[in-house]
Chain A
């Protein structure tokens, strides 16, 4: 995959050197009279994990919802494939931050999957073949044992893996992940990032991840976008996480000084 990716001139002419890429052009979201996002321009390459970071209220989750088409926005989302064909609506996978589910809800993991993929009511007809496929999907993210557990009884990390497996069925072209702010322990988070990382390589997906854990971003992201109402900076984790803009945005002046003395930031 990697060899061909650098020799695709058609794609390069389009301004992106991948097999395919996603272009977010001039995205803006205004709710009432409040400007939440403006002039957001991004190129996201497939096979890359793009992390979106920014302070609270920067519009990170709003950007995800706008990309999903859930809230009205200006600007366009273009999905360009290697042969220059413009896909009007790329298949999107979405992992929400949380389900906001009533924890007493009698919905099992299997119910959730069947509701997504089966034609027949999930409570009435459960075909063996379908159940087997769901199990397979879950196994891919090390969650096969959760098949008949209730969604409300899952830990934050388990739920996240289940939702990831769901987002990969069918395999999307763009995977949007909204990482939970809380409720996942460090091990769960580690496992989650590792799984996402593997998927990126296995399926050549464009992954857009809203992240709150800068340490994980440093370790796993290919590109980082610093967002605060608009794109302040985009680049490799090294570039962004050591930039002045980054320190100013997160009010980490002491880190900036420390870096000046030769220490490593964060």
Chain B
């Protein structure tokens, strides 16, 4: 919660953050040094815990494939924004991916078809539409590559501010709906008998995931963004015995892999998103091997 609100103080300035880092005894942390790394570090610290928290519910509900599809919807939104000539396609991307999330949830509910088939249909259609629109009229796809791979090092203070506001809103929302979502994930009939409208809670949750995936897509990269949601929760699930442990571990794992991944990606000169995911996977396999001790 606390991280979510930090960036909101003075919109566009993160001087306080530089000051904190300057207190550290590292060469790179000194005043005026490696500003882009400091920005990226702040963005990572804001982003990863929110992803981990929503990820716990995605893993509870077996929705890993679903959240992957949401990323595809967001990509199509960016393509539509580009077509409409918007300078910042983020608005249309959020709008489209929310509509997309809503549609998948409705059809998953109304149709007797297996959930993964519905998601597969939507996911493929969305990505195809996105590529179709992006290349319409012989345009090059190259400018969209940044969305696929992501570049957290290019994030600017103003963008961190925007991210912090969106993530803060998602966290507040999360605070109020978590219990009901947990109950729906445990047993929809049981939730229904306690007066919970399972359908709308699923819709709201899908939309929240759609929003955070979309606003973070260009920093993390569409190809690996789903791992930010799924891996920390999956690793935590290996050894957690209650919801409290599950959430705390997921957040710790996500922060750990986020910060370590950023630093390693700098020294190896690799894409940050994928480096973070590799560390998350390493944590997942480690917890998987020791899981029996915690069972």
Quick check: B194 and A116 within 8 Å, CB to CB? yes
Asked whether any CB of chain A lies closer than 8 Å to the CB of B245, the reply is yes
* Partner among B60, B175, B190 whose Cβ is within 8 Å of the Cβ of A96: B190
Quick check: A96 and B187 within 8 Å, CB to CB? yes
Asked whether any CB of chain B lies closer than 8 Å to the CB of A246, the reply is no
Bitwise, A90-120 to B at CB < 8 A (1) or not (0) is 0011101001111011111011101110111
* Partner among A92, A102, A122, A167 whose Cβ is within 8 Å of the Cβ of B243: A122
- B181 CB → nearest A CB, Å: 9
- B295 CB → nearest A CB, Å: 8
Quick check: B192 and A150 within 8 Å, CB to CB? no
Beta-carbon nearest neighbor of A178 in chain B: B189
Quick check: A121 and B187 within 8 Å, CB to CB? no
Bitwise, B236-247 to A at CB < 8 A (1) or not (0) is 110011111111
Asked whether any CB of chain B lies closer than 8 Å to the CB of A248, the reply is no
- A165 CB → nearest B CB, Å: 13
Chain B contacts with A in 163-201, Cβ cutoff 8 A: 174-175, 178-180, 182-183, 186-190, 192-194
Beta-carbon nearest neighbor of B183 in chain A: A115
Per the bound structure, the CA–CA distance linking A102 and B186 in Å amounts to 9
A36-44, A65-73, A196-204: which one contacts chain B?
A65-73
Quick check: A99 and B182 within 8 Å, CB to CB? no
Quick check: A121 and B237 within 8 Å, CB to CB? no
Chain B contacts with A in 13-69, Cβ cutoff 8 A: 60, 62
Beta-carbon nearest neighbor of B238 in chain A: A104
A96-B189 contact in complex given A105-B60, A116-B183, A122-B182, C-beta closer than 8 Å: yes
- B15 CB → nearest A CB, Å: 31
Residues of A close to B189: CB separation below 8 A: 65, 68, 70, 94, 96
Per the bound structure, the CA–CA distance linking A108 and B60 in Å amounts to 13
Residues of B close to A106: CB separation below 8 A: 236-237, 240-243, 245-246
Asked whether any CB of chain B lies closer than 8 Å to the CB of A76, the reply is no
Quick check: A111 and B187 within 8 Å, CB to CB? no
Asked whether any CB of chain B lies closer than 8 Å to the CB of A123, the reply is yes
Residues of A close to B186: CB separation below 8 A: 99, 101, 105, 107, 112, 115, 151
Per the bound structure, the CA–CA distance linking A110 and B182 in Å amounts to 13
Per the bound structure, the CA–CA distance linking A108 and B242 in Å amounts to 5
Per the bound structure, the CA–CA distance linking A122 and B182 in Å amounts to 9
Residues of B close to A1: CB separation below 8 A: none
Quick check: A111 and B182 within 8 Å, CB to CB? yes
- A104 CB → nearest B CB, Å: 6
Quick check: A107 and B243 within 8 Å, CB to CB? yes
Quick check: B193 and A176 within 8 Å, CB to CB? yes
Asked whether any CB of chain B lies closer than 8 Å to the CB of A126, the reply is yes
Residues of B close to A167: CB separation below 8 A: 193
A115-B179 contact in complex given A70-B189, A108-B242, C-beta closer than 8 Å: yes
Residues of A close to B193: CB separation below 8 A: 68, 92-94, 167, 176
Bitwise, A110-142 to B at CB < 8 A (1) or not (0) is 111011101111111010000000000000000
Per the bound structure, the CA–CA distance linking A114 and B178 in Å amounts to 11
Chain B contacts with A in 248-295, Cβ cutoff 8 A: 248, 295
Quick check: A123 and B175 within 8 Å, CB to CB? no
Per the bound structure, the CA–CA distance linking A94 and B188 in Å amounts to 11
Per the bound structure, the CA–CA distance linking A153 and B240 in Å amounts to 13
Per the bound structure, the CA–CA distance linking A114 and B194 in Å amounts to 13
B62, B180, B189, B237 — most chain A CB neighbours (10 Å): B189
Asked whether any CB of chain B lies closer than 8 Å to the CB of A249, the reply is no
A107-B242 contact in complex given A96-B189, A100-B187, C-beta closer than 8 Å: yes
Beta-carbon nearest neighbor of B291 in chain A: A104
* Partner among B187, B192, B194, B244 whose Cβ is within 8 Å of the Cβ of A126: B244
Known: A70-B188, A110-B242. 18 other contacts (CB 8 A): A65-B189, A96-B189, A99-B190, A101-B186, A106-B242, A107-B182, A108-B243, A115-B178, A115-B180, A120-B175, A121-B175, A122-B178, A122-B179, A122-B244, A123-B244, A126-B244, A151-B186, A166-B190
Question: Can you list 29 contacts pairing A with B, beta carbon distance less than 8 Å?
Answer: A68-B193, A69-B192, A70-B188, A70-B192, A92-B193, A96-B189, A101-B186, A102-B60, A104-B237, A107-B186, A107-B243, A108-B241, A111-B242, A111-B244, A112-B183, A112-B186, A115-B179, A115-B180, A115-B182, A115-B186, A116-B194, A120-B179, A121-B174, A123-B178, A123-B242, A123-B248, A124-B244, A126-B244, A176-B193
Closest 3 A-B residue pairs measured CB to CB? A94-B193, A106-B240, A123-B243
